[in-house]
Amino acid sequence: MGAAPCGRQIASRRSRAPEPAPLETLFEQRLAREVALPSRLAELYGSLFLPARSGWPHVIGNFVSSLDGVVALSLSDQTGGGEISGFNAEDQMIMGLLRAIADVVIVGAGTLRSAPRHLWTAEAICRPLAGPYAELRASLGKPLAPLNVVVSASGALDLTLPVFASGKVPALIVTSPAGERRLRESDLPPSVRLAVGGEVGGSAPDANASRRVPPVAPSEQQPASLAPLDPGSAGEAADSGHFEPGRRAEAEAATASQGVYGGEAGLISAGAVLEAVLASQPAEVVLTEGGPRLMSEFLAEGLLDELFLTLAPQVAGREPGAERPGFVAGRHFLPDDPRWGSLVSLKRAGSYLFLRYAFGRR
């Protein structure tokens, strides 16, 4: 078999996506650091800037949305972002690029359930660029695969799925105490670690979460076929692992004032998810690909630094009662607590726009 097409989510019924075309850069803020991209990626994406290192991971989100703000159709046979993007090759190239610079990719269990065979690696989303992505990771001193993190309140996860059982990626499940009990009923595959996170509506992101997650030695964390983790590559964030005081206070305030899920058992704060991740390994760049429920916690707690948003030039529509979420579900911000972003870059391919907004730290 030849190389699979790029795919926002793998969907066998789709025909091969075309090779991505170079993006046109319409606006770009030159941030502190330019990532040295391999020539093929530089040709396709243009320049990629990151802010200065801060000692805290840079947390970025990535979504594709229709013009009318729909990110998922929630149909039994069409659940992924691919239907929204039209399996756009440039969108997939950017997804791969973000995964390639990420130490960690975090998704909610709903996103895993909508793409159960997927691995959250650069080459899994855009195989034709596997070589340049691997080259980029090597040049950044990162192992072949980012840590794949799945967040689940219920713990109702199929541990035989490739993300857990293939051994191709190190995986971390962040779950509630009830979820942990459920998951412990099955044998955890060797590449999977488990962490219990503090719940939304709790007094604070659970400082004990990190203590419950024993630090993972590189050899334990990475399957033998993958390059070992290089702690040095994760930069200054390596000494972190805990909330900056300002962020913790903001997170608590946001949780207290905005929580729609506050009473829902098992929902874990985004801060606790990050604590668990950092207790597991150092991370300079953390990518979350949602879905909407998980994203709402990151935004509510002021823990999303940037959003890469692809605007696909189609209108999805909504009927009353039909579940067609935007990239935030389960929280509201307006009118009391708005989240304004500032444009970092704007790129274009055909009628698609690739937006990048900074939200700053709250």
Ligand X SMILES: NC(=O)c1ccc[n+]([C@@H]2O[C@H](COP(=O)([O-])OP(=O)(O)OC[C@H]3O[C@@H](n4cnc5c(N)ncnc54)[C@H](OP(=O)(O)O)[C@@H]3O)[C@@H](O)[C@H]2O)c1
Binding interface with ligand X (CB under 6 A): 63-64, 71-72, 74, 79-81, 84, 107-111, 114, 151-154, 156, 266-268, 289-294, 297, 325, 329
CB of 195 to ligand X, least distance (A): 12
Least Å distance, CB 18 to ligand X, is: 20
Min separation Cβ 204 and ligand X, Å: 15
How far apart (Å, rounded) are the C-alpha atoms in residues 37 and 42?
Answer: 5
Nearer to ligand X, 154 or 166 (CB): 154
Give dist(CA 210, CA 3) in Å, integer.
Answer: 40
Tell which residue, 105, 218, 87, has the closest CA to residue 151.
Answer: 105
Nearer to ligand X, 229 or 305 (CB): 305
Looking at beta carbons only, is 30 or 184 nearer to ligand X? 184
Neighbour tally for 100: CB within 10 Å = 29
Question: Measured from the CB atom, is 129 or 294 closer to ligand X?
Answer: 294
Q: Which residue's CB is nearer to ligand X, number 143 or number 291? A: 291
Least distance (Å) between residue 339 CB and ligand X: 17
**Least gap, CB of 225 to ligand X (angstroms):** 28
Nearer to ligand X, 133 or 261 (CB): 261
Residue (48 or 329) nearer to ligand X, CB: 329
Smallest distance from ligand X to CB 154, Å: 4
CA distance 56 to 105: 16
Q: Considering the complex, what minimum distance in angstroms separates the CB of residue 125 from ligand X? A: 11
Q: Provide, rounded to whole angstroms, the least separation between the CB of residue 307 and ligand X.
A: 11
Of 86 and 223, which has the nearer Cβ to ligand X? 86
